[in-house]
Amino acid sequence: MPNSLNSIAQHYHERTKYDPETIASKGKGLDWSKQPAPYKEYKIGRVYDLKPYLSSDREIAPESDDYNWLQLSLLLLTSYGLTAQYQTVYGNPIYLRAAPSAGGLYPAEVYIVSKGNFWLPAGLYNYQVANHSLVHFWDSEVWLQLQSACFEHPVLTEVDIALVTTAVFYRSAWRYEDRAYRRIFLDTGHLLGNVELAASINNYKAYLIGGFNDLALNKLLYLDAAEEGAIAVIPLMSLAQDRLLKTSGETALASNTITEYPDIADGKLLAYLHQATQMEAKQLPEKVDSTEDKYNFPFCTKVATNINSQIDWGEKLSELENTILKRRSTRNYSGSNLKLDELKALLHFTYQSDNYLAQGLDDNPDYFTLDLIETFIAVSGVDGLDTGCYYYAPQAQELRQVRFKNFRRELHYLCLGQNLGRDAAAIVFHTADLEKAIAQYGDRVYRYLHMDAGHLGQRLNLAAIRLDLGVSGIAGFFDNQVNEVLGIPAEEAVIYLTTLGSP
């Protein structure tokens, strides 16, 4: 095996970059005869229909079975449920879900593991998105196995229900090939963002566990690990119980860093990276003090982003629920400007939790490695803000200008010629220093970074929709050229783009 200076995650990232010189040779037509099914089916198991609870009285007594089923039904619907359909020219409708997915491919599956309680029998459940139901496909007690797979995470001793998200790799790889691994974890981040907010609506606290024994968890769920793998565990705790919890444990654990690996053929890189980032034993990350914003460019223009008024999510978060259900990715922008106050409101909701509790939101939402995510914003049309590239400093709550320029033409090019890049009023770029991140968490951090970027992107999504703005995420871009054009430091690997504008 050749010894490489790069770890396997760095190698993967470099190998899957889009480049103007090579992107044409990488592309090939889709084989529609091999298009994967977007849903998983079980031939056996007891089915629990969740649809009747959607039309039931919301004021059910909390002590009743129906109350718990109502909360779970709404949480699943607003996390990943079907929310719309549109007809295609091919005659088959496409069904859209509460969380966005690259290419509408929806690689995630959602499972429930139950310890067993007075309303939900012990065992394993799969969320059947197509008909909004649960199938109870394994009815033995499995909670101790879940705890063991999660290295005895302390939250699992306090709860009796947990979601597990998985990825069916081919659903995304069918179209995006090896680069699909990036999109799978961004899509999972969108889903986790929804779960976290939907939990608040339905009186849950959602915790995140990203460090677990992959082999054990896949075995627990009876997955064919070559086709589907566990991605995240989300214990659900009642809000009243959460306020009494003294410790929540680690959301992210470290894995090994792999620097020796063979030559890997195209089409095999995704599977190799996933296998290489799996864990068998608990390993704590290297702790680094990150209480300050990373970049403070000398003599740059600084614009404060703190605001007086917050986004109104309605009584009992009713408008948040409505926003999740009506969210759609914008396909075209008018090219009109945003207001500076609108951009500030989007950033404040996404990054600042000081007003969450007053609105009924979780004021300490779980992320994996959020302190390693950096945010840059290319401004093309925001009233009251010069065009150019800015670094967003969340601790100081200010924008710090990196470059003075109107980048519309370059952004059109960087976004692979998509008009969204050209016509957006602003584009948010999430980046991370891969070398620094891997030094702390090993190669598994590649998963965490993309899930956190997707989570942030979903918060931007929902905030924009609530303000009647347009928003759309982009995971396909010319990687190196983003850094060059915008003046972003070379060590910052670009992970995700979110376009914002007037629809």
Distance from C-alpha of 404 to C-alpha of 308, rounded to nearest angstrom:
28
| Residues β-bridged to residue 84 | 96
Distance from C-alpha of 268 to C-alpha of 16, rounded to nearest angstrom:
12
Do residues 230 and 164 make contact, with C-beta atoms less than 8 angstroms apart?
Answer: yes
- 51 Cβ neighbours under 8 A, 6+ residues apart: 73, 131, 132, 133
Give counts: helices (H), strands (E), the chain. Answer: 17, 18
- DSSP class of 114: E
Its CATH architecture, for the domain 302-501, is 3-Layer(aba) Sandwich (3.40)
CATH number of this structure's domain 36-250: 3.40.109.10
Do residues 386 and 406 make contact, with C-beta atoms less than 8 angstroms apart?
Answer: no
Distance from C-alpha of 16 to C-alpha of 170, rounded to nearest angstrom:
17
Distance from C-alpha of 466 to C-alpha of 480, rounded to nearest angstrom:
33
Digit-by-digit pLDDT tens for the chain (503 residues) are 344 569 999 999 999 999 998 886 665 678 888 889 999 999 999 999 999 998 766 777 676 778 899 999 999 999 999 998 886 666 677 889 999 999 999 999 999 999 999 999 999 999 999 999 999 999 999 999 999 999 999 999 999 999 999 999 999 999 999 999 999 999 999 999 999 999 999 999 999 999 999 999 999 999 999 999 999 999 999 887 766 676 678 999 999 999 999 999 999 999 999 999 999 999 999 888 777 999 998 889 999 999 988 899 999 999 999 999 999 999 999 999 999 999 999 999 999 998 898 899 999 999 999 999 999 999 999 999 999 999 999 999 999 999 999 999 999 999 999 999 999 999 999 999 999 999 999 999 999 999 999 999 999 999 999 999 999 999 999 999 999 999 999 999 999 999 999 99
Q: Do the domains spanning 36-250 and 302-501 agree at the CATH topology level?
A: yes
Do residues 433 and 469 make contact, with C-beta atoms less than 8 angstroms apart?
Answer: no
| Residues β-bridged to residue 167 | 108, 229
Nearest to 426 by CA among 458, 394, 392: 392
Residue 97 tokens read as: 């879900």
Domain range summary for the chain, segments of one domain joined by +: 36-250, 302-501
Do residues 485 and 410 make contact, with C-beta atoms less than 8 angstroms apart?
Answer: yes
Burial zone of 365 (CB within 10 Å; 0-12 exposed, 13-18 middle, 19+ buried): buried
Give the full edge-to-edge strand order of the sheet including 388-393: 302-304, 398-403, 388-393, 374-379, 426-433, 492-501, 470-474
